[in-house]
Structure 1
Amino acid sequence: MRMPRTLTSRARAGTSAAVVTMLLGTAIGTSGGTATAAEATKGKDNVVLQWNQTTYDALVKKAAEVNGLQRPPLGSRSLAIVHTCMYDAWSAYDARAVGTQLGDDLRQPYHKRTLANRKTAINYAAYDALNYLYPEFKSDFDAKMMALGMDPANTSRDTRTSAGVAHTACDAVIADRRTDGSNQENAFADTTGYTAFNPPQDLAALDKSTVLDPVRWTPLSTNGVVPPFVTPQWGGMKPFAIKDPAAFQPPPPPAYGSAKLKADIKTMMDYNANLTDRRKVVSEYWLENRETPAGHQNKWAQYISRRDHNTLDEDVKMFFTLNLAMADAGIVAWKSKVRYDYARPITVIRYSRSGHQVSGYAGRGKGTQTIAGETWLPYVTTPPFASYVSGHAMWGGTAAESLKLWTGSDKFGASFTAKAGSSVYEPGLTPASDVTLKWDTLSQAATEDGMSRVYGGGHWTFDVVEGQKLGRTVAKTAFGAAMKYINGTA
């Protein structure tokens, strides 16, 4: 059964509240449907939204500790754990839903399924999850709890109380994730022994004579510092919703010298030599270095929640379905990256054009000039891991499909305006005047997210195309799995 979000929309045009709550599986008196509907009209973010924002803030704060660069998959795992803990605690107060770890073992009696108890359970569950993920920010989470009227010192596991339900539910989620293969306990260090096939290349220029295979990933050295491949173990991590990440792998990328790769090299070089302010804004807007792509796409869900006046129950489920899919998308993407170990445009283009003069972006504020092929430079920084498939494209496609399935519509409507001179890469210069990005549909947002990596020079077009296909497939599978939990059939 697909969640009938479109039924909710029709109901707001005239169907009675009792019918709406019945259709949503939250009949009045069993899950507090009328209370949550009233809450959604107050104009105040419910606690699901508030904890989602708190998680986002933690991602950004963590990025500040590592010079502004997050390892992309970490955000998707964090958000999935937080929202799984919230969902599992909330499910104890629903008539049908079952938890991901304890099933219906925590199911509370009819008279305890109140809005107040659901809020309390959600608060303690999110608090526990965030303290597991970011213990260094405990004081922030304590302050949030106290602002919500909760006692952070309440550690009771008595499941006759909502705090006890939450702690017990989240304990089970955390126990499951401690051995998921991410290696959180050792700062997510590589557990695979990955070694790059090609020796490092200096970022300033490529030495073609030392390249062993032009389409294998090559580390880039800056002032003698060589960042390692980011989290190569991620593709082997335990999924959240899908069964086997290996079942979602893309076809092989093109070989060196193939017509497909030659065409893509030309496409990339054409974009690079003809960068417009709009393309630069798109490249920078979608970088998502601090909040990670999953953090950015959770902002889409926040926008939709406020746009549609979601209830507490609706947001528990929407963010749960979204973030199971996003976490699994990261696992599938990294499995592909390690499996194919495919080179980034910066090394392939430099290799193919070495010894030739080319037209290309000459550096910050320098525009397009004639440059040596072995020094070809993308507009944005190239991250230290393989290219195929694009994580941005995959997460964007996953989010668009998951939210489309949930709402029953591709409608979006969000926008962003980059002020003149606001560029991080070319401050004071780019854009020359304000540039507004607007996405009428979720699909448009996902497409632009993927293309941003092509404009910026970090990904091939086939990275993007295959990544978005995979993302939508993962989203559909994860959505089906999430709905089984929500409908109590898991």
Structure 2
Amino acid sequence: MKTKYIFFGAIMVLILANSCEKDIPQYTEFKSYAYTNNDENGGSWVPVLLDGATAIDIAAPEATTSTEYLAELADIKSKMDNIDGNQRRSVEYWTNNAVVRWNEIALELIAKYNLIPGPNDDDSYTLPNPNTPDGPPGFPFSHPPYASRALAYLSVAQFDGLISAWHYKYQYNRPAPYQLDETINYAYEPNDIPSYPSDGAVLARVSRNVLSTMFPLEVEYLEKMEQEHLQSLLLSGGNVQSDIDAGVIIANTVSEIALERAANDGMKNAQAPKAVSDSIKAAAFERFGWQWENLELPVRPVGLTPLFGKVKMWSIDDVESVRPIPPPPLDSQEYRDDVEILKNYADNMTEERRAIANFWQDGLGTYTPPGHWNRFANEFIVESKMNPLRSARTMAYMNMAIMDAGISCWDAKYYYHYPRPIQTIPGFRTIAGTPNFPSYTSGHSVFSAAASEVLAYIFPEKAGLVRGWAEEAAISRVYGGIHWTFDATVGTDQGRNVAQFTIDVAKLDGAD
């Protein structure tokens, strides 16, 4: 099929004061805020994995006049009277929207483990193994596909857990401790959302459970963070212990369902052995007459996650249904034209283009392209003063779309197995390294376009802004010499197409 490839026009330069720094870790600077909306009907929203909000049974709480509840109230008042400096700082840190905080912790872990395993003394490679997480090398290597999946499971579990919590909050309608006892000075901006079950407890336990599975070497750290979070719920004056216990029940059930899906989604087979990788490569050569070659020294025997394209998607049944058009043949005029475009960029590199390429690099030791868009979403959530439930919804749909987009992208990468510019242009050099997987389509482009479309749906006032960022992320890979322009343009269309499936799901969940 002969296709006209449209190149990007003017690309806006991304300038976001205090919101786009990519130092790791760097937590969002925000304090407790008054929610724009309490979403009283949130318990009627449609979950992603649960069979409705009532799939988890939570018993009615004790009456606020009961001996049991009054004892709980006295207990938190005693704890608050004896709070120390570290505890006070912990309460301030967790704020009243821990969706953002746990997402930031996930980004920190992704960056920490985004380190490619090095070669052994004999130039062979040992890949991270979840069965022996201590390694060497340590598990995981949190590359972009792994990061997108970790963030998706974390966000979906949080979202489903909070839908269930919201249902019971408004069914039982038990006020928060500070609303019942005026001597309790609530640490955050007050609201009239019922306290039972505790949404904070749902987030603390779900996040610990999911992230401990994704990052097994961090179990002790995550347990510590969970305990600090749970303690802060008591010390803030927002919850009594029975609120927290009920939230933990919801969280454990949701986590189990989410992690069962994860265990059977095909990710364990994504990093295929060499024989499988070679067969994929041979099939592409037979089909198209080209194949991507790894140009690293020493050469890695297998590309990164050749079978990630087979992983179960969230909103799409058949990955082939969203596979993009073929790239131009290597003897076509379209290809030759693109060679000249890349040579021209390389020979006339400007400071602006170099800055754009570097800004969007998101390579080893960073929170990856999916993490970059999670950072933006965190900023928008705080700016819009979303409550935890609506925040979790934002993150769930964005990360579902990002993961689906990544699966679609990796399907295209290994189906087409298209060479990178450095392989086919004699003497060509990049300014940002060369990833260990085929060129077409661009992962940055697909991830970014998918994320930007979901953010444009949720924050329509920012639609032009985020779509411009996605186009800048895409062209950055061309400026860097890592990708062809059609990798970026077709990848952007691909990401937008995939995201629409997630948006269609979101439009039917009852939240709009």
TM-score (norm: length of structure 1): 0.70
Query: How many residues matched?
Result: 376
1:83-98 equivalent positions in 2, closer than 5 A: 83-95=155-167
> Is the counterpart of residue 75 in structure 1 residue 147 in structure 2?
yes
Deviation at 1:24, TM superposition (A): 6.9
**2:337 corresponds to 1:252:** no
Q: Comparing both structures, which one devotes a greater share of its residues to strand?
A: 1
Distance 1:63 1:119, change over 3 A: same
1:337 counterpart (413, 420, 427)? 413
Residue type of the alignment partner of 1:385: F
Q: Name the SS of the counterpart of 1:380 in structure 2.
A: coil
**C-alpha distance in 2 between matches for 1:54 and 1:125:** 13
Partner of 2:111: 60
Cα deviation, 1:121-156, whole Å, max 9, x if unaligned, reads: 1211111100111110112212211221359xxxxx
Per-residue deviation, 1:376: 1.9
Q: Report the Cα distance in structure 1 between the residues aligned to 2:249 and 2:40, rounded to whole angstroms.
A: 30
Deviations 1:334-368 (A, max 9, x none): 11111111110111112xxxxxxxxxxxxxxxxxx
1:110 corresponds to: 172
Q: Verify: 1:391 aligned to 2:443, yes or no.
A: yes
Q: Give, in angstroms, the shift of residue 64 of structure 1.
A: 4.5
Task: Look up the match of 2:87.
Answer: none
Q: Which residue is 2:492 aligned to? A: 468
Change (3 A) 1:93 1:403: same
Q: Which residue number corresponds to residue 190 of structure 1?
A: 272
Structure 2 CA distance, aligned partners of 1:114 and 1:393? Answer: 42
| 1:274 lines up with 2:355 in the alignment | no
| Contact 1:242 1:477 (C-alpha < 8 Å) held by counterparts | yes
- Counterpart Cα distance in 2 of 1:392 and 1:181: 23
**Aligned counterparts, 1:321-470, within 5 A:** 321-350=397-426, 375-410=427-462, 441-470=465-494
Residue by residue over 1:231-264, the C-alpha shift from the partner in whole angstroms, topping out at 9 and shown as x without a partner, is 0111011112222211111111100121100110
Q: After superposing the two structures, state which structure 1 stretch, 314-323 or 61-70, moved more.
A: 61-70
**Conservation of the 8 A alpha-carbon contact between 2:170 and 2:194:** no
In the aligned structure 2, how far is the partner of 1:344 from the partner of 1:69? 23
Compared CA separation, residues 441 and 125, structure 1 to 2 (3 A) = same
User: How many Å apart are 1:485 and its aligned residue?
Assistant: 4.3
* Cα gap change, 1:196 to 1:283, in 2 (>3 Å): farther
1:447: how far off? 0.8
Please tell me whether the aligned partners of residues 148 and 399 of structure 2 are also in contact (alpha carbons under 8 angstroms). Answer: yes
Alignment CA distance shift 1:26-1:469 (3 Å): same
| 1:4-403 matches, cutoff 5 A | 21=38, 25=42, 44=95, 46-64=97-115, 66=117, 70-95=142-167, 109-111=171-173, 114-115=194-195, 117-150=198-231, 161-183=246-268, 189-190=271-272, 193-195=276-278, 215-222=290-297, 224-226=298-300, 228-289=302-363, 290-350=366-426, 375-403=427-455
Unmatched 5+ residue regions in structure 2? Answer: 1-33, 45-52, 54-92, 119-139, 175-192, 233-242
| Cα deviations by residue, 1:78-108 (Å, 9 ceiling, x for unpaired) | 000101111121111234xxxxxxxxxx998
CA pair 109-255 structure 1, distance change in 2 beyond 3 A: same
Q: Structure 1's 287 and 70: CA in aligned 2 closer, same or farther, altered over 3 A?
A: farther
Deviation at 1:330, TM superposition (A): 0.6
Q: Percent identity?
A: 25
Superposition deviation, residue 291 in structure 1: 1.2
One-letter amino acid of the counterpart of residue 161, structure 1: A
Distance 2:156 2:406 in 1: 16
For the residue of structure 1 that corresponds to 2:481, the secondary structure is coil
Superposed CA deviations along residues 8-32 of structure 1, whole A, max 9, x for unmatched, are xxxxxxxxx99955697579xx9xx
- What letter is aligned with 2:112? K
The letter of the residue matching 1:121 is V
- Contact 2:111–2:367 (CA<8 Å) still a contact in 1? yes
Tell me the secondary structure at the aligned position of residue 165 of structure 2.
coil
Q: CA deviation at 1:58?
A: 0.7
The superposition leaves residues 45-101 of structure 1 with CA deviations (integer Å, 9 ceiling, x where unpaired) of 611000000100110111257479742211100000101111121111234xxxxxx
244 and 324 in structure 1: CA distance in 2 versus 1, 3 angstrom threshold = same
Note closer, same or farther for the CA distance 1:22–1:380 as it changes in structure 2 (3 Å cut).
closer
Q: Per the alignment, do residues 131 and 25 of structure 1 end up closer, same or farther by CA in structure 2, a change over 3 Å counting?
A: closer
| Conservation of the 8 A alpha-carbon contact between 2:446 and 2:492 | yes
Q: Does structure 1 conserve the Cα–Cα contact (< 8 Å) formed by 2:324 and 2:490? A: yes
CA separation in 2, counterparts of 1:25 and 1:402?
20
State which drifts further: 68-77 or 78-87: 68-77
